[in-house]
Chains A and B, each alone.
Chain A
């Protein structure tokens, strides 16, 4: 006899419910109770009024597994529509990632690495940082991890680029409109608090696992948050006196944005980009679960097959890559901040 029987009887809902327990399908608890008659006595005296408990007393109320099933069917129902919209929109992301991976694969190392080092030099203008980067890549190449590292790096750079492309305008819009900021902040909070694996679940159903955009979206959605937040903050922090001067001399809104606000917010935006890069790297490792190539795949192999050495060396590679990306972006940030010093 279920605990909530009396409640439904008392409310006069028995007819609506149908006959309690008797010939409706049996729940797991009922089966257990039959197998072991003392279980009913041992069960909770006052069970939580969950769907299952209520279903015991009143079959008209669906059990939990129906609820889970309906969430699934619900998602599957909107999936096609969602896919129809998202697929073409995100297709360029797949192309970009495919192109980047192809480029990394087909350009010979003796061309790729010098180009990379020159870029590092231009971004950081720092000799120690450039030398460090050269050493790291020499080491990675020496232990035959260069290809995997370059794959990881290219995914990180593509995703960071797209994060900046979308994150900075969103941040600007948030700084300009309090309403928009109020609307976006909870979304950003949500994106930052969601465990990284949870992102992957709906994406796996939406896109095929063979498509690069699956992990591309997961990385971007996760990593775009800091660049949005810090662009918003940076623009809101622009000295009001300086803006007043810009107004007094008749600058138009675009002139103010490009000539005053963005340059003055640049140190903050760069700090956001630095964090975005680091978060992309963290996510690209997890995304190897859904076919993202690179060092993450080796780490995963280490875990799956208990190949300790493979996992550790790939892990070291990721750490080195992380330090490289951090140093280079911080050096670029420091260079920008130097010319922005105030008073």
Chain B
């Protein structure tokens, strides 16, 4: 359903396995033959971190990885900058095999193209906030004055101006996390890896930071890998959503798609509590094609959410709207489809049972 011309993925992960334990190569065949995480732990005392992961991450897109605690999200994101070495599989960045990089080249790659926000902040406790934020530039050998202006610019952008000369232990958890975000932003790298980068933030700041990220995307078009536990956040940010369970990808694709067609009871559970009217967009529910046939009640934008359409229609389910996408009519929206889309599949399967 995407009409964008196919581009090369920025990050391409193919058949990635990670097994933690003393002899990962020995137990790898069992996993390849379909042994699950629990069985592997019980029978071979190895922890299955990632199980046959294949994901393409497109340039300029935000790929959101979701999953329960322990499902392997942090493990997956650490493979992209090779903080963890895989047991098997391949990782291509810009088409080049990231696993073949020499230590020297890997370090250069990390300096230039990869930045990361850590779940546990991981700030340098003996450095001021400003020096922490400027870390990436310092490593690259950028002059002090430029480091300073860049770091201050991004600290300001995450709402921490005035704290430049403080030390991390003098800041709250949420503030420390924002220093971590500023550190990654200051790096201005093509790829940003964000491991639960917003988990310690209060709802207001969190919403601010989400907006910051989306605004940035308009300007800078980075390739962002974003881990979160929060489905609302995932749906707001994601161009591509990957759902992990026990180290396996259970479903991935466009978030609206996953919401409308969950492939698995696990995902149905995942998405059942969401406010669908606010999340679902007209473009995922509309019927594409001819727009001459009907008398329309009005025009709606393809990117509007269903909540706003319902408000416009005043709750009347007999209406039909013309959908405008990019200035041109692209199809029509029947209010009956809107209502149908609002009912999650879980409840329908429950009534059936």
Taking Cβ atoms with an 8 Å cutoff, the residues of A that contact B are 239, 241-242, 244-252, 255, 259-260, 263-264, 266, 339-343
B-side interface mostly? mixed
Q: How far is the CA of A244 from the CA of B108 in the complex (A)?
A: 16
- Asked if B146 CB lies within 8 Å of chain A CBs, one says no
Q: Choose among B107, B120, B126 the residue that contacts A250 (Cβ–Cβ < 8 A).
A: B107
Contacts of B112 in A (CB 8 A): 250
Query: Which residue, A264, A266, A343, has most C-beta atoms of chain B within 10 A?
Result: A343
A250 touching B110 by the CB < 8 A rule? yes
Counting CB contacts under 8 A, is B21 at the interface? no
B111 touching A241, Cβ below 8 Å: no
From A244, A255, A264, B125 is in contact (CB under 8 Å) with A264
Chain B 226-264, CB-CB to A under 8 Å as 1, else 0, gives 000000000000000000000000000000000000000
Query: Can you list 10 A-B contacts (CB < 8 A)?
Result: A241-B120, A242-B125, A249-B111, A249-B116, A250-B107, A250-B108, A250-B109, A250-B111, A252-B107, A259-B124
Instruction: List the B side residues contacting A252 at CB < 8 Å.
Output: 107
Question: For the complex, what is the distance from the CA of A264 to the CA of B122, rounded to whole Å?
Answer: 13
Whether the Cβ atoms of B169 and A342 lie closer than 8 Å is yes
Chain B positions within 8 Å of A264 at CB level = 125-126
Chain A residues near B223: list those with CB within 8 A. none
Chain B residues 100 to 153 lying within 8 A of chain A, measured CB to CB, are: 107-112, 114-116, 118, 120-126, 135-136, 139
Alpha-carbon distance A252/B103, docked complex (angstroms): 10
**Bound CA–CA A244/B118 (angstroms):** 9
Q: Please, how many angstroms separate the alpha-carbon atoms of A340 and B126 in the complex?
A: 5
With contacts A255-B139, A339-B167 taken as known, whether A247 is within 8 angstroms of B122 at the C-beta atoms is no
Q: Is B295 an interface residue (CB 8 A)?
A: no
A242-B125, A264-B125 known; A247 and B118 CB under 8 Å?
no
Instruction: Decide if B81 is an interface residue (CB 8 Å cutoff).
Output: yes
Q: Is B187 an interface residue (CB 8 A)?
A: yes
B218 beta carbon closer than 8 Å to chain A: no
Q: Is the CB of A249 within 8 A of B110?
A: yes
Q: Which residues of A contact B122 (CB under 8 A)?
A: 239, 241-242, 244-245
Q: Is the CB of A260 within 8 A of B124?
A: yes
Enumerate chain B residues within 8 angstroms of A250, measured Cβ to Cβ. Answer: 107-112, 114, 136, 139
Complex alpha-carbon distance, A272 and B289, angstroms: 77
Q: Is B83 an interface residue (CB 8 A)?
A: yes
Given A242-B123, A339-B167, verify A249-B135 contact (CB < 8 Å): yes
Asked if A248 and B116 make an inter-chain contact with CB atoms under 8 angstroms apart, the answer reads yes
Task: Name which residue of chain B comes closest to A247, CB basis.
Answer: B83
Minimum CB distance partner of B109 in chain A: A250
A249, B187: Cβ atoms closer than 8 Å:
yes
**Which of B108, B111, B118, B167 touches A245 (beta carbons < 8 Å)?**
B118
